Structure 1
């Protein structure tokens, strides 16, 4: 269970908050206030973008589904997949995927080449910025993990889009508020076009393979 907890903390400890979390002389009241203000900011952003995201899903998705007010993500399952659900109570997965990332206007800012899936040694690296430019947004977390994981006999909600999460062969399309993408900063992946700040993102993700990561 400690692995999924570490993964969740990567989403909760943001920016300066994350830095503070690693210090022994932490002012926890200050951290709590920063997190509160961050959650308020995220809520306002999701609310501002909600209608545009809903309209996109209604017109572009065949069978759109709304995840929750907590995420603000709309999605559709293109293929259920044939693999077994991944056990997040023991590990974070190593993944191989075909994907395409778009803006609402249809601009493709990143995509795998046909027959050449992207490989990540740990799902964490899809939302943790790296020297390889692998940052793709926190929405990948919600796409992959299940709705909840069992912790010592108790189901702990982790806000995944699907009851059992993605598995080998799964294919999903989603549109996410900018807070789970690149948030309030402009961004650029490789040679792709610039992504404006506060941009909702559209991802199509096909899971080629999932297996236990060698490190978490």
Structure 2
């Protein structure tokens, strides 16, 4: 994910914004928490019908995750061989080896890595890199703790598993500009083909 590796560090992920602001936070020039949530919800609502239409037209067995509005299909389901570990109000970060493809809704390919590549599956930061929120949602399991990421799959992505999903721009690059081939506010389509998952620690 050449674009994602290089540019995700510069993005202010919605997950990070949401978890770091409280109802009274106002940045020097930024929006309040309430304004940011209204903007997020407005974008999600505006893109909802397009995501559903795309999934139903292009996926064999589309399912909707109603927590995030992500549509997905599981292409293959291997036996469970990895247990994700909870840590406080989150997950112990994992390192994953995978092949992947990223597209826009008009089928424009913005990234296609068919050589197995390693990623640290964490929120973006200036010191560790990271991935967009949609990848966190795809990888980590569903949880009974509402403070954890509510993943798409009960056990999280497993080694040998392949999944395809379409996500709102909110869980992708949001309204960022200047990303090669990805206009601001673009829903994104990903195919992830996972070969291994292991704890970072």
- What's the TM-score, normalizing by structure 1? 0.74
Q: 2:50 aligns with which of 44, 49, 52?
A: 52
Indicate conservation of the 8 Å contact 2:23/2:32, yes or no: no
Indicate conservation of the 8 Å contact 1:88/1:145, yes or no: no
Indicate conservation of the 8 Å contact 1:83/1:169, yes or no: no
- Rate the CA distance shift 1:28–1:161 in 2: closer, same or farther, 3 A: closer
Which runs of 5 or more structure 1 residues have no equivalent in the other structure?
A: 1-9, 22-26, 149-154
- Rate the CA distance shift 1:28–1:37 in 2: closer, same or farther, 3 A: closer
Q: Which runs of 4+ in 1 moved over 6 A?
A: none
Give the aligned partner of residue 199 of structure 1.
186
Q: How far apart in 1 are the matches of 2:113 and 2:127?
A: 18
Structure 1 segment 105-144 matched on structure 2, within 5 A:
105-113=106-114, 116-120=115-119, 122-124=120-122, 127-128=123-124, 136-144=131-139
Q: How far apart in 2 are the matches of 1:187 and 1:99?
A: 22
Is 2:170 the partner of 1:170? Answer: no
Is 2:24 the partner of 1:29? Answer: yes
> For residues 82-118 of structure 1, what are the alpha-carbon distances to aligned partners after superposition, in whole Å with 9 as ceiling and x for unaligned?
34243231521111111000000000101113xx211
Is 2:26 the partner of 1:39? Answer: no
Q: How far apart in 2 are the matches of 1:143 and 1:206?
A: 12
Larger radius of gyration: 1
Count of residues paired in the alignment: 180
Q: How far apart in 2 are the matches of 1:12 and 1:102?
A: 22
Q: Compute the RMSD of aligned alpha carbons.
A: 2.7
